[in-house]
Amino acid sequence: MHYYPCPALHRWFVPVVAALGWAGLLGLPAGVAIAQPAPLTESTRSAPVTFTAGPITIDGLLDEPIWSTAPKIGTLIQRQPLPGLAPTERTDVTLLHDADNLYIGVVAYDSEPRRVIGTQMSRDAALGADDRIEILLDTFRDQRNAFYFATNPSGALVDGLLSSGEQLNTNWDAIWHVRTRRTDHGWVAEFAIPFKSLSFPAGQPVWGFNVSRSVYRKLEEIRWSGARLQTPFLQMSEAGQITNLDGLKQGIGLDVRPYAAGSWLHTDATGKDTLRGRGGLDVFYNVTPSLKLTGTINTDFGETEVDARQINLSRFSVLLPEKRSFFLEDAGVFNFASIGPTPAGGIAAVGADIYPFFSRQVGLAGGQEVPIDAGLKLTGKAGRTDLGLLGVRTGDTSFVEGKTFLVGRAKQNLFEQSYVGIIFTDGNPAPGKSGQTFGADLHLATSHFLGGQRNFFIDAFGLRSVNRGVSGDDWSYGFAAKYPNDRFDAQVAIREIPKDFRPGLGFVQRSNVRMFRAAASYNPRPDFLKIQQMFHDIYYTRFERLSTGQTESWDLYITPLDWHFKSGDAVHTVADPNWIYERLFEPFAIAPGVVLRPGEYRFTRFKTSLASATKRRVSGSVNISWGDYWSGSAEQITTSVTYKLPPWFTFSFTANQTFARLPEGHFTARIHTATVNYSVSPYLSFSNLVQYDNRSRNLGLQSRVRWTLQPGRDLFLVYGQGWIQDPNGGTSFRPQDSKISTKFQYTFRF
């Protein structure tokens, strides 16, 4: 008989060992010995970066002589619609560097220059409906993490941090420059990326690199390296390399960013006006070329966007994304293998993701802001180990006392794309509570599964929460495998979340359950009816209540038809069937005054979804779901419309409505959202968000101005106004609180 000190640890240990056993099939060496990155193959593309001693003016002209004499990186290759063939439009890419910057010049020729699409100019705009140039810089050549830069013909600045080869955080803002210019032959983009804005190991003259160009009207994507349908652009293991980056320096690696902020708040209930002013400081210091220390004092988040409105019609918690800059920078290092795998578009997430560290638990309580007195974060690499350490001290308020929170994360990179990691958190934001969470995770991945050019990965994790006054089954574990490829896609996931597992700084959507999900997709690319790709999905999800062994819920969703056309239009679903089973163990208030009794519920729903191409000046979508709903029936309708005056103006409106008729009572849930955005230039933008929901009866407006005087020097002005609807409904609204906030931040680089 074998003895295991903890049954839950045993259950976690078994799938981890099984995952390691898959290493042979993955094409990975046996064992988990620390290895160096796999050598680049003979077919790996390589290009030199030419040194220039002369000045480069970032104006989108590429008129300095060095641009014409330096070698190009070579021909880009079509990824879609015809993989491996020459592109229909020529693209020339040239790389230069001096003592301070990496310069990238792109000449995007186009046979129909008047049809080049560039509809947006705002910072970090979503460029999916535009022609665009995207760049990845894997400065450590670890084939997992990278810096991301992108632009469109209108000169939008989009940047982000890629972590683990799949998660892109575009809320990271670097100091860099790009200028674009339309020509009679297409368009030109000229990038200048300061070395002070990057982290890289000293003395390594070779970086991972890839570039992609999209010609949206043709739905054509061309790449320098990894131009295969099953290879996402963010998969750095398929990138090429750039050379001749010798002797690069970052100065002393110190950025100091002081800020000044002020606010005016008018409280309608009391008629009181409150004026506040404050100052603070953010400091960024490269302890080594690959380890960055970030400090913040008297942190202000006055420029942060408001959360999107949600009406939760489920029994479980809703996840709201992090939007605060201090927590978003280098957030990828804290990611854990207990989330995902991501379902296909239009398929509901599994609803059982576990976040051992969820940064919204720090500095927010009950929807109210808790002041952050100071924070310190160390992120980066030590050899092949990714490190993340975070400490935050919050201040006292009338509703919660100040506390100190600590988070530690380490990932040891293995082979080409794999890692084994650990995490630890200390603290609990709830009044009078404390606790710790710790655990380990394993990620095995390859893009050469069974010796071919196919992707496959395995995740496994084990986590334990230790909370004062709580004892019982507090170990959570999980295992997932995914085969994410272009024509065939499949996944399986198993996860156990006991009732006493409560990560103090984390987030758990549902507990006391064992989850199982299995899914498969067949996605051919037929050559008829101008179809780009067809998708056929089947997803089965089941939850078992751990305390009783009874089935809590199951869900079977089938997509028999999802056609994406070469025009950009799509028929996503036509009467997709969704069979659902739910067991309520206690009463569930699905809406005010509407309470569902404990018992079993079986219902079948259907869904239709259509969308027009976003390249058009006017575009839209409609999603309709109907059929049985708990003890009765319901229709859920989501419609959206977008109007653009490129590249300055965008208006969009979305209505999400549920009309339910149940024996326990009828109810309607509505959320209406409108955005009105105007960009004077890539450096000056005005954004307006209007939201209304009939659950809170609140109408809210947030207007934001962001003016970048030059990269690293930003002025924000934010106006917020709320109105409350008359209890009898109609168009009568009474003003609530009004707030104006302003913030100016200035970065000094040393």
pLDDT > 60? residue 49: yes
Supply the pLDDT for residue 727: 84
CB 136 within 8 A of CB 147: yes
Most confident of 21-25, 57-61, 301-305, 470-474: 57-61
For 405-420, what is each residue's pLDDT tens digit? 999 999 999 988 899 9
pLDDT > 60? residue 139: yes
Element (H, E) at 436: strand 435-446
Whether 627 is in a domain gets the answer no
Supply the pLDDT for residue 43: 65
CB 490 within 8 A of CB 482: yes
Please report which confidence band the pLDDT of residue 321 belongs to, taking 50, 70 and 90 as the band edges: confident
Q: How far, in Å, CA of 223 to CA of 79, rounded?
A: 7
Whether 71 is in a domain gets the answer yes
pLDDT > 60? residue 715: yes
Supply the pLDDT for residue 21: 38
pLDDT > 70? residue 347: yes
For 206-232, what is each residue's pLDDT tens digit? 999 999 999 999 999 999 999 999 899
pLDDT > 50? residue 676: yes
AA identity, residue 620: G
Q: How far, in Å, CA of 337 to CA of 510, rounded?
A: 17
Measured CA distances, 548 to 51, 511, 544, 596 (Å): 69, 13, 8, 21
Please report which confidence band the pLDDT of residue 462 belongs to, taking 50, 70 and 90 as the band edges: very high
AA identity, residue 31: G
Whether 169 is in a domain gets the answer yes
Please report which confidence band the pLDDT of residue 479 belongs to, taking 50, 70 and 90 as the band edges: very high
Whether 115 is in a domain gets the answer yes
Longest dimension (CA), the chain: 79
Whether 44 is in a domain gets the answer yes
Q: Summarize the confidence of residues 325-344 as an average pLDDT.
A: 88
Q: How far, in Å, CA of 659 to CA of 633, rounded?
A: 9
pLDDT > 90? residue 376: yes
Looking at the chain, the whole-number percentage of residues with pLDDT higher than 70 is 94
**Where in 447-569 does DSSP place strands (E)?**
456-467, 475-484, 488-497, 507-508, 513-522, 531-534, 536-545, 551-559, 563-565
Residue 739: name the closest of 369, 310, 279 by CA.
Answer: 369
CATH classification at residue 41: 2.60.40.1190
Looking at the chain, the whole-number percentage of residues with pLDDT higher than 90 is 76
CB 80 within 8 A of CB 220: yes
User: Residue 490, by phi and psi: left (phi above 0), alpha (psi -120 to 50) or beta?
Assistant: beta
Q: Which residues contact 236 (CB under 8 A, 6 or more apart)?
A: 136, 138, 142, 143, 144, 145, 146, 162, 165, 208, 210
- Per the prediction, the chain carries an average pLDDT of 90
The strand pair at 531-534 and 536-545 is best described as: unpaired
What's phi and psi for 141, nearest 5 deg? 55, 40
pLDDT > 90? residue 32: no
Least confident of 202-216, 366-380, 485-499: 366-380
Please report which confidence band the pLDDT of residue 452 belongs to, taking 50, 70 and 90 as the band edges: confident
Residue 562: name the closest of 530, 590, 534 by CA.
Answer: 534
Residue 709: name the closest of 748, 685, 683 by CA.
Answer: 683
- Domain count for the chain: 1
Q: Give the pair of three-digit tokens for residue 274.
A: 């409150």
For 79-119, what is each residue's pLDDT tens digit? 999 999 999 999 999 999 999 999 999 999 999 999 999 99
Residue 482: name the closest of 439, 510, 447, 509 by CA.
Answer: 447
Alpha carbons within 13 angstroms on the beta-carbon side of residue 709 total 9
Supply the pLDDT for residue 368: 80
Whether 172 is in a domain gets the answer yes
Most confident of 288-292, 527-531, 658-662: 658-662
Q: Summarize the confidence of residues 371-377 as an average pLDDT.
A: 95
Q: Summarize the confidence of residues 439-457 as an average pLDDT.
A: 92
The strand pair at 240-243 and 46-48 is best described as: parallel
For 59-83, what is each residue's pLDDT tens digit? 999 999 999 999 999 999 999 999 9
Whether 741 is in a domain gets the answer no
Predicted TM-score of the model (pTM): 0.87
Q: Summarize the confidence of residues 326-337 as an average pLDDT.
A: 89
pLDDT > 90? residue 470: no
Least confident of 186-200, 363-377, 685-699, 736-750: 363-377
pLDDT > 50? residue 33: no
Q: Kindly list the strands in the beta sheet with 50-51, ordered across the sheet, starting from the edge strand earlier in the chain.
A: 50-51, 91-97, 101-109, 186-194, 177-183
Residue 745: name the closest of 278, 358, 346, 370 by CA.
Answer: 278
Q: What angle do CA 410, 411, 412 make, to 5 degrees?
A: 125
Q: Give the pair of three-digit tokens for residue 653.
A: 């409106």
pLDDT > 60? residue 42: no
Supply the pLDDT for residue 31: 35
Residue 652: name the closest of 621, 697, 681 by CA.
Answer: 621
- Of 717 and 34, the structure prediction assigns the larger pLDDT to 717
pLDDT > 60? residue 24: no
**Bond from prior residue into 289 cis (ω within 30 degrees of 0):** no
- Can you spell out the DSSP letters for 575-622? EEEEEEEEEESS-EEEETTEEEPSEEEEEEEEEEEEE--TTSSEEEEE
Alpha carbons within 13 angstroms on the beta-carbon side of residue 373 total 10
| Interior/surface letters 595-613, b for 16+ CB within 10 angstroms, e for the rest | ebeeeebebebebebebbb
- Of 383 and 482, the structure prediction assigns the larger pLDDT to 482
Least confident of 40-54, 115-129, 206-220, 734-748: 40-54
Q: Summarize the confidence of residues 346-364 as an average pLDDT.
A: 91
Q: Give the pair of three-digit tokens for residue 559.
A: 């997509």
Residue 162 domain boundaries: 34-243
Least confident of 30-34, 86-90, 174-178, 301-305: 30-34
Element (H, E) at 691: strand 684-693
pLDDT > 80? residue 37: no
Residue 394: name the closest of 422, 416, 361 by CA.
Answer: 361
Whether 65 is in a domain gets the answer yes
For 521-574, what is each residue's pLDDT tens digit? 999 999 899 999 999 999 999 999 999 999 999 999 999 999 999 999 999 999
pLDDT > 60? residue 7: no
Residue 589: count of CB within 10 angstroms of its CB: 11
Supply the pLDDT for residue 36: 37
